[in-house]
Chain A
Amino acid sequence: MRAQQPQGATPQAGKDNEKAALEQRLRDLEDRVVALEGELRQLKAQNAQPAKPEAAPPAAAPSAGQQAAAQPAPASQAEAVRLGGAGGAAAKALNPDISVIGDFIAAAGHNPINPTPAFQMHESELGLQAIIDPYARGDFFISFGEEGVNLEEGFVTFTALPASFVAKGGKMRAAFGKVNTMHNHVLPWADRPLVTQNLVGGEDGINDAGFSVQRIIPAPGSWFVEGTGQVFRGDSADVFTSSEKNDVSVVGHLRTYKDLSESTNIDLGGSFSRGHNLFGSDFITHLYGVDATLRWKPLQRAIYHSFVARSEFIWRQQNQPNIGVCAAIACPAFVRTGYQRGFGFYTSADYQFARRWFVGGRVDRSDRPFDASLTDKGGSLVLTYWPSEFAQLRGQYRFTRYAQNFDAHEAFIQLQFSLGAHGAHPF
């Protein structure tokens, strides 16, 4: 690195070499300053993060003064071992990422079957997200209504498991299809599709406490294949009810994905779920789902144009009491006796025609879960405007023809806004 002055060089060449050497030293010094600045930035970011015991090998031959200064360290380390023991300034640096997403909806139109208030602060989602330790991260999403609080999700993800497994434990949205996994604020609509409302537990969906394991499965070509298996307590909206401890529900999901070109990709999934329903431990509900998504986004103009077409087909089959039993236990009026096979789907398309503008539409159709002979149909048109990455304004017109031959025409204005650092969601 250092330029050596060659023997017998002219004085001019010697001066040049000296100058070069000086320049080199200056550059080295500059690099050291930059490196120190980088370390400083990192230290500031971590602040007084408790030192890991193995992270501090003693410096070679420390002076007496340094040794004296190093003495109190074990005590502070001992303090740091306490769970949640980081105090003062350190606590701030170790705070999780905090975000709040507000979802305000104004509605117009008449719909006695599924009424919506004229104005509502539909949801305030508080997100608390952080890396727990080198092996895991934690995510909490607490959903506040205008009254009442609900733990939408709260789970730990183990990211450093052997054999490339990723495991989660806690309460989470089940990996059943696409819409069920999505939070309200990432939906391209102000509502959820009819099939979700009717067959997959509505807004809450299959969302339960349990355990999830997923892994990428090696596949030929450039196919991405991922399998997910989940076991839950067995309580999810009107889908599953756990009458005793053994009434767990399971969810399985297989996802395949392929890049068709650098701007187009296709995403196909199959889902299965099984659990016990509200009639008791002897009554089983099965759910089957198929989902397909086609996305287009030209890379060089990715912030201006995109297109997403998506569809989910869902079958729900469940045992229900026969006439005799139903009479004895006084089934609710909406329940039809005997085995029910309900089917529903939605198909949607969303096109981004300018940096801040999206237009979309959705077609809905779904049988009712407890009386599959009744079918609701509908559709929506949506226009979304994003003033910035952190806010969006949406207008939606929704038509629904309910099985009772009642037509509902509704209009929604939705305003969503995001505060703080909300972690990105999976694709």
Chain B
Amino acid sequence: MTLRSKSYSFFLIVILCWTLLLPSSAEAKKLKVITTLTDLASLTQEVGGDKVEVEALAKGYQDPHFVEPKPSFLLKLRNADLLILVGLDLEIGWLPPLITQSGNGRIQPAGPGYFDASRFAEILEIPQGNVTRAEGDVHPLGNPHYWLDPNNGRRIAKAIASKLAEMDPADQAYFQQREQDFEKRLAEADQKWTGQMAPYRGRKVVTYHRSWPNFAKHFGLDVIGYIEPRPGIPPTPSHTIELVNQMKREGVKLQLIEPYFDLKTPNSIAGMTSGKVVVLMPSVGGRPEITDYFKLFDYDIALLIKSFEETK
């Protein structure tokens, strides 16, 4: 009987070894890059051009805190040369088990293909002192929605270009050239955006979640309150009444909402303050026409200006 048990173990081991013999992937010349969010994918595509193959795990219209760690993501991660993530615990609820299960040593936290973009960006709202969850789902390392500032976009792109050059030294000049070109185009676009937003600097708005501090800082918006009473806690009636009173007091008309939140409370607030709900896109791919990092700001700024004009 023990002999049989041993033969079973042997059988299992043989099955696993057999999988070894199957080709895991064809030798690809392009660097395979997986990013958690579409925005990082867009920035990588800008600097990587046709020397990289980039894919994002989450969709642009999805709440990046609550992505399901689907096994189909493992198929993408197992062959990745580089994993680019937002960091600051944004993906803490879903990325770590995927990395562990991927069987890909390169993208493990200490590996050469693990790239935390937050290291290169300006981070706001870093909590001081003791952090407790009485504050809701706070991010102890700072606000992770930092990509919504074109300056951070530039910094991240630069860092990604250096990383790509490190992994593929033969194409260093190519990445550098593309990065400089991107930086130039972004500077021009940013000049246009800030110009368009200039008349609305200092305008007060309310947002659903704390997703927009970097965006607000760059374009001079004043976020005076949040529809969520605490980060990650759904709206409560008492907080909503407080917020409505504050909005009325300060003459605030616009609520900026991410596409993945329910519009019931925002709509009723809009009714009470005769204001407007603006579904702003926090990520590339939030709508079909937002195909890259530039179009993300084009879309959001056009929508904001239209909404400011409508609620004059």
Contact = CB atoms under 8 A, between A and B. Distances in A.
Interface of A: 1, 27, 30-31, 34-35, 37-39, 41-42, 45, 131, 133-135, 137, 157, 159-161, 163-166, 213-218, 222, 224, 226-227, 229-231, 246-250, 252, 255, 257-259, 262, 265, 267, 274-276, 281-282, 284, 295, 297, 299-304, 355-356, 388-390, 421, 423-427
29 contacts: A31-B154, A35-B120, A37-B122, A131-B109, A131-B110, A135-B105, A159-B103, A164-B24, A164-B102, A166-B101, A215-B103, A216-B75, A217-B22, A218-B22, A224-B71, A226-B74, A230-B12, A231-B12, A246-B2, A247-B5, A257-B71, A276-B1, A281-B1, A303-B63, A356-B234, A389-B137, A423-B97, A424-B94, A427-B71
B289 to A, nearest CB: 16
A388 B136 contact: yes
B96 interface: yes
Interface in B1-45: 1-2, 4-6, 8-9, 12-13, 15-16, 19-20, 22-24
Given A227-B16, A304-B262, A423-B97, A247 B2 contact: yes
A39 B108 contact: no
Contact of A250 (B5, B104, B234): B5
B123 A41 contact: yes
A255 B155 CA distance: 41
Contacts of A255: 71
A163 B71 contact: no
Nearest to B69: A427
Contacts of B152: 34
B105 A41 contact: no
Contacts of B259: 300
Contacts of A302: 62-63, 66-68, 260
A425 B97 CA distance: 6
Interface in B115-172: 118-123, 133, 136-137, 141-142, 151-152, 154-155, 158
Given A214-B103, A302-B260, 17 more contacts: A38-B119, A41-B142, A160-B105, A161-B103, A164-B103, A166-B103, A224-B72, A224-B74, A281-B2, A282-B1, A284-B4, A299-B62, A300-B62, A300-B259, A302-B63, A423-B96, A424-B92
A370 B146 CA distance: 60
B234 A300 contact: no
A409 B24 CA distance: 53
A410 B24 CA distance: 52
A216 B155 CA distance: 36
Chain B interface size band reads 35 or more
Contacts of B158: 31
B93 interface: yes
A34 B71 CA distance: 36
B105 A159 contact: yes
B284 to A, nearest CB: 15
A41 B63 contact: no
A215 B16 contact: yes
Contact of B9 (A250, A276, A282): A250
A216 B20 contact: no
A255 B74 CA distance: 13
B59 A389 contact: no
B20 A163 contact: yes
B291 interface: no
B100 interface: yes
A133 B103 contact: no
A389 B96 CA distance: 18
Interface of B: 1-2, 4-6, 8-9, 12-13, 15-16, 19-20, 22-24, 59, 61-63, 66-72, 74-75, 78, 92-97, 99-105, 108-111, 118-123, 133, 136-137, 141-142, 151-152, 154-155, 158, 180, 232-234, 259-262
The 10 closest A-B pairs by CB, nearest first: A160-B105, A229-B12, A164-B103, A134-B110, A38-B119, A246-B2, A257-B71, A224-B71, A426-B97, A427-B69
Contact of A133 (B8, B62, B67, B110): B110
A300 B61 contact: yes
A49 B6 CA distance: 44
B111 to A, nearest CB: 7
Given A215-B16, A427-B71, A355 B234 contact: yes
Contacts of A213: 13, 16
Contacts of A257: 70-72
Contacts of B154: 31
Contact of A262 (B59, B94, B180, B232): B59
Contact of B75 (A1, A224, A424): A224
Nearest to A213: B16
Given A137-B100, A163-B20, A216-B75, A303 B260 contact: yes
B12 A252 contact: yes
B75 A222 contact: yes
A250 B96 contact: no
B20 to A, nearest CB: 5
A239 B67 CA distance: 36
Contacts of B104: 164
Contacts of B69: 424, 426-427
A252 B5 CA distance: 13
B155 A301 contact: no
A258 B72 CA distance: 7
Contacts of B61: 299-300
Nearest to A162: B105
A231 B2 CA distance: 13
Contact of B120 (A1, A38, A164, A258): A38
Contacts of B92: 421, 424
A134 B59 contact: no
A38 B121 contact: yes
A39 B110 contact: no
Given A299-B59, A427-B68, A217 B120 contact: no
Nearest to B140: A421
